[in-house]
A and B are shown apart, each in its own frame.
Chain A
Amino acid sequence: MKNIFAAFFLLVVFSAQCQEASSTISGIVTDAYGRPLSFASIILENLKLGVLTDDNGAYSIHQVPKGNHKLKVSYIGYGTNSKLIEVNEKNTNLKIDFALKESVENLDEVTVNGKTKKTSLETKGFAVNSVETKEAGLRSIQTNELLNTTVGVKIRQNGGLGSNVKYSLNGLSGRSVSIFIDGIPISIYGSSFSLNSIPPSMIKNIEVYKGVVPGHLSSDAVGGAINIVLHEGAKNNLNASVSYGSFNTIQTSLNGAYRFDKSGFTIKASAFHNYSDNDYKISGRTIVDIAPNGIETPIVARRFYDAYRSTGGMAQVGFTNVEWTDQFLVGVTASDEYKQVQHGTFVTKLPYKGRFLESDAILGNLTFKKKNLFIKGLDLNINGVYGKRNRIINDTVAQAYSWTGKRRIRFDGEYLDYIWDSQNENGPTLAKITRNVSSIRSGLSYTINDNHKILLNHVYSGVDREDSDEMISLLENTFHQTSDLYKNIISLSYELQAFESKFKLNAFGKHYIQKVLNTQPVFNDDNTQVIDEVYQSDKDYTGYGFAASYAILPSITFLTSAEKAIRLPSEKEVFGDAGDNLLPNLTIQPETSNNVNLGIRLGKFNLNKHGFTLTSNFFARNIENRIGLPTNADGLRESDEFVQYTNLENTAESKGIEGEFHYTYNNNLGFNFNITRMSLTTVNSGVETNVPNVPLFTMNAGLRYTFKNFIQEKSRLNLFYNTYYTDEFSYKFAQGKNTTGEEEFLVPEQLSHDFGLSYTFPKEDFVLSFDVKNIFDQAIYDNLSVQKPGRAFYLKLNYTINNL
Chain B
Amino acid sequence: MKRPLLNLKSYATALFAIGLMTACSSDDNTVTPDQEEQEEEQEEEASRWITVAGAKMGENPGDGNGGTLIYSVSSEDAKDPTVQIDPFNNGFVAPSNRTARLQASEDGNTIFNISYAGDTGGNYTKYIVEGEGKFTPTGSEISIAPYVGTAPRWIKLFDGDKTGAAVYVSTEHQVDDNDTPKDVTDDNYLYTNSTIGVVTLDLVDSQINNFQEHVITLSEEESAAGYYISRIDMPVLNAAGDKLYIGARVSKVDPATVESDTDYEVLGAKTIVLDYPSLLNPTIISSSIGRGNTNGYRSINAFLYDGSVYQANQSDPEGSHILKIGSNNQYDDSYDFNLDDALGVEGAYVLAWRPAANGKAVLAYRHDGSAEGISGRGESFFALVDLNAKTATTINDIPYEVDFELFQYQGYAVDGNEIYLTQAPVGKNGNIYVIDTETGTVTKGAELVNAEGSHFIGAW
- Establish whether residues B173 and A650, one from each chain, have CB atoms under 8 Å apart when the complex forms: no
Q: Which B152-211 residues sit within 8 Å CB-CB of chain A?
A: 168, 170, 172-173, 175, 177, 181-182, 184-185, 187, 189, 195, 197, 201, 206-208, 210-211
Q: Which B334-389 residues sit within 8 Å CB-CB of chain A?
A: 375-377
Size bin of chain A's contact surface: 35 or more
Asked if A34 is at the interface (CB within 8 A of a chain B CB), the reply is no
- Establish whether residues B134 and A740, one from each chain, have CB atoms under 8 Å apart when the complex forms: yes
Q: Give bound CA distance, A610 to B288, whole Å.
A: 90
Q: Cβ of A295: which chain B residues have Cβ within 8 Å of it? A: 140, 142, 206-207
Asked if B143 is at the interface (CB within 8 A of a chain A CB), the reply is yes
Q: Cβ of B208: which chain A residues have Cβ within 8 Å of it? A: 292-294, 411
The one of A475, A632, A735 that contacts B377, using a Cβ cutoff of 8 Å: A632
Size bin of chain B's contact surface: 35 or more
Asked if A419 is at the interface (CB within 8 A of a chain B CB), the reply is yes
- Establish whether residues A419 and B170, one from each chain, have CB atoms under 8 Å apart when the complex forms: yes
Q: Cβ of A419: which chain B residues have Cβ within 8 Å of it? A: 147-149, 168, 170, 195, 197, 213
- Establish whether residues B259 and A479, one from each chain, have CB atoms under 8 Å apart when the complex forms: yes
Q: Give bound CA distance, A741 to B67, whole Å.
A: 11
Q: Cβ of B30: which chain A residues have Cβ within 8 Å of it? A: none
Most buried by B among A632, A642, A648, A784: A632
Q: Cβ of A296: which chain B residues have Cβ within 8 Å of it? A: 140-143
> Digit string of B35-78 for contact with A (CB within 8 Å is 1, else 0)?
00000000000000000000011111111111101000000000
- Establish whether residues B119 and A348, one from each chain, have CB atoms under 8 Å apart when the complex forms: yes
* Distance between B175 CB and nearest chain A CB, rounded to angstroms: 3
> Digit string of A415-440 for contact with B (CB within 8 Å is 1, else 0)?
01011110001010000000000000
Instruction: Choose, from A56-64, A130-138, A151-159, A680-688, the stretch at the interface.
Output: A680-688
> Digit string of A472-491 for contact with B (CB within 8 Å is 1, else 0)?
11111011000000000000
Q: Which B395-447 residues sit within 8 Å CB-CB of chain A?
A: 407-408, 427
CB contact under 8 A between A290 and B66, given known A419-B168, A738-B133:
no
* Distance between A664 CB and nearest chain B CB, rounded to angstroms: 44
Most buried by B among A687, A733, A735, A738: A735
- Establish whether residues A350 and B88, one from each chain, have CB atoms under 8 Å apart when the complex forms: no
The one of A631, A640, A642, A732 that contacts B249, using a Cβ cutoff of 8 Å: A640
Asked if B91 is at the interface (CB within 8 A of a chain A CB), the reply is yes
Q: Give bound CA distance, A741 to B173, whole Å.
A: 42
* Distance between B386 CB and nearest chain A CB, rounded to angstroms: 28
Most buried by A among B94, B143, B151, B206: B143
Asked if B277 is at the interface (CB within 8 A of a chain A CB), the reply is no
- Establish whether residues A735 and B170, one from each chain, have CB atoms under 8 Å apart when the complex forms: no
Asked if A174 is at the interface (CB within 8 A of a chain B CB), the reply is no
- Establish whether residues A740 and B92, one from each chain, have CB atoms under 8 Å apart when the complex forms: yes
Asked if A712 is at the interface (CB within 8 A of a chain B CB), the reply is no
Asked if A497 is at the interface (CB within 8 A of a chain B CB), the reply is no
Q: Give bound CA distance, A581 to B259, whole Å.
A: 11
Q: Cβ of A744: which chain B residues have Cβ within 8 Å of it? A: 93, 95, 120
- Establish whether residues A346 and B92, one from each chain, have CB atoms under 8 Å apart when the complex forms: no
Asked if B247 is at the interface (CB within 8 A of a chain A CB), the reply is no
* Distance between B264 CB and nearest chain A CB, rounded to angstroms: 11
CB contact under 8 A between A293 and B121, given known A475-B258, A738-B133, A741-B135:
no
- Establish whether residues A578 and B260, one from each chain, have CB atoms under 8 Å apart when the complex forms: yes
- Establish whether residues B89 and A349, one from each chain, have CB atoms under 8 Å apart when the complex forms: no
Q: Cβ of B144: which chain A residues have Cβ within 8 Å of it? A: 294
Most buried by B among A294, A419, A631: A294
- Establish whether residues B146 and A633, one from each chain, have CB atoms under 8 Å apart when the complex forms: no
- Establish whether residues B170 and A427, one from each chain, have CB atoms under 8 Å apart when the complex forms: yes
CB contact under 8 A between A635 and B67, given known A290-B143, A474-B184:
no
> Digit string of A649-687 for contact with B (CB within 8 Å is 1, else 0)?
110000000000000000000000000000000001111
Q: Give bound CA distance, A348 to B395, whole Å.
A: 45
Asked if B90 is at the interface (CB within 8 A of a chain A CB), the reply is yes
- Establish whether residues B146 and A290, one from each chain, have CB atoms under 8 Å apart when the complex forms: yes
- Establish whether residues A741 and B94, one from each chain, have CB atoms under 8 Å apart when the complex forms: yes
Most buried by B among A286, A523, A740: A740
Q: Which A253-295 residues sit within 8 Å CB-CB of chain B?
A: 285-286, 288, 290, 292-295
Please, which residue of chain B has its CB at the minimum distance from the CB of A474?
A: B184
The one of B133, B173, B407, B452 that contacts A632, using a Cβ cutoff of 8 Å: B407
Q: Cβ of A95: which chain B residues have Cβ within 8 Å of it? A: none
Instruction: Choose, from A120-128, A525-533, A547-555, A697-705, the stretch at the interface.
Output: A525-533
Q: Is the interface of A mostly helix, strand, loop or mixed?
A: loop
- Establish whether residues B57 and A293, one from each chain, have CB atoms under 8 Å apart when the complex forms: no
Q: Cβ of A745: which chain B residues have Cβ within 8 Å of it? A: 93, 95
Please, which residue of chain B has its CB at the minimum distance from the CB of A475?
A: B187
- Establish whether residues A735 and B256, one from each chain, have CB atoms under 8 Å apart when the complex forms: no
Q: Cβ of A642: which chain B residues have Cβ within 8 Å of it? A: 262
The one of A650, A737, A784 that contacts B59, using a Cβ cutoff of 8 Å: A650
Most buried by A among B67, B94, B135, B172: B67
Q: Cβ of A400: which chain B residues have Cβ within 8 Å of it? A: 146
Asked if B118 is at the interface (CB within 8 A of a chain A CB), the reply is yes
Asked if A413 is at the interface (CB within 8 A of a chain B CB), the reply is no
Q: Cβ of A742: which chain B residues have Cβ within 8 Å of it? A: 93
- Establish whether residues B63 and A685, one from each chain, have CB atoms under 8 Å apart when the complex forms: no
Asked if B97 is at the interface (CB within 8 A of a chain A CB), the reply is yes
Q: Cβ of A581: which chain B residues have Cβ within 8 Å of it? A: 260
- Establish whether residues B170 and A421, one from each chain, have CB atoms under 8 Å apart when the complex forms: yes
* Distance between B327 CB and nearest chain A CB, rounded to angstroms: 31
Q: Cβ of A733: which chain B residues have Cβ within 8 Å of it? A: 56, 58, 66-67
CB contact under 8 A between A630 and B60, given known A290-B143, A419-B168:
yes
CB contact under 8 A between A474 and B170, given known A294-B201, A425-B151, A685-B57:
no
Q: Which A375-419 residues sit within 8 Å CB-CB of chain B?
A: 400, 408, 410-411, 416, 418-419
Asked if A736 is at the interface (CB within 8 A of a chain B CB), the reply is yes
Asked if B124 is at the interface (CB within 8 A of a chain A CB), the reply is yes
Q: Give bound CA distance, A418 to B211, whole Å.
A: 12
- Establish whether residues A527 and B256, one from each chain, have CB atoms under 8 Å apart when the complex forms: yes
- Establish whether residues B211 and A411, one from each chain, have CB atoms under 8 Å apart when the complex forms: yes
* Distance between B121 CB and nearest chain A CB, rounded to angstroms: 6
The one of B58, B135, B213, B297 that contacts A635, using a Cβ cutoff of 8 Å: B297
Q: Cβ of B56: which chain A residues have Cβ within 8 Å of it? A: 684-685, 733, 735
Q: Cβ of A628: which chain B residues have Cβ within 8 Å of it? A: 59
Asked if A341 is at the interface (CB within 8 A of a chain B CB), the reply is no
- Establish whether residues B89 and A736, one from each chain, have CB atoms under 8 Å apart when the complex forms: yes
Asked if B230 is at the interface (CB within 8 A of a chain A CB), the reply is yes
Asked if A777 is at the interface (CB within 8 A of a chain B CB), the reply is no
Asked if B454 is at the interface (CB within 8 A of a chain A CB), the reply is yes
The one of B63, B146, B260, B452 that contacts A687, using a Cβ cutoff of 8 Å: B452
Q: Cβ of A735: which chain B residues have Cβ within 8 Å of it? A: 56, 66-67, 69, 88, 91, 93
CB contact under 8 A between A635 and B407, given known A295-B207, A740-B134:
yes
Q: Give bound CA distance, A523 to B67, whole Å.
A: 45
Asked if A52 is at the interface (CB within 8 A of a chain B CB), the reply is no
Q: Cβ of B375: which chain A residues have Cβ within 8 Å of it? A: 631-632
Asked if A20 is at the interface (CB within 8 A of a chain B CB), the reply is no
Q: Cβ of A738: which chain B residues have Cβ within 8 Å of it? A: 89-90, 133
Please, which residue of chain A has its CB at the minimum distance from the CB of B142?
A: A294
The one of A349, A635, A686, A737 that contacts B408, using a Cβ cutoff of 8 Å: A635
Q: Cβ of B120: which chain A residues have Cβ within 8 Å of it? A: 285-286, 348, 744
Q: Which B111-125 residues sit within 8 Å CB-CB of chain A?
A: 118-124
Q: Cβ of A737: which chain B residues have Cβ within 8 Å of it? A: 89
Most buried by A among B59, B88, B140, B177: B59
Q: Cβ of A288: which chain B residues have Cβ within 8 Å of it? A: 143
With A290-B145, A635-B297 given, name 12 new contacts (CB 8 A).
A290-B142, A296-B143, A348-B120, A348-B145, A419-B197, A419-B213, A476-B175, A529-B185, A530-B185, A736-B91, A738-B89, A740-B135
- In the assembled complex, 15 residue pairs joining A and B whose CB atoms fall closer than 8 Å, in A order, are A290-B142, A293-B207, A294-B144, A349-B122, A427-B170, A472-B173, A530-B185, A635-B377, A649-B60, A684-B57, A685-B454, A686-B453, A739-B133, A740-B135, A741-B92
Q: 3 smallest A-B Cβ distances: which pairs?
A: A686-B452, A631-B60, A473-B175
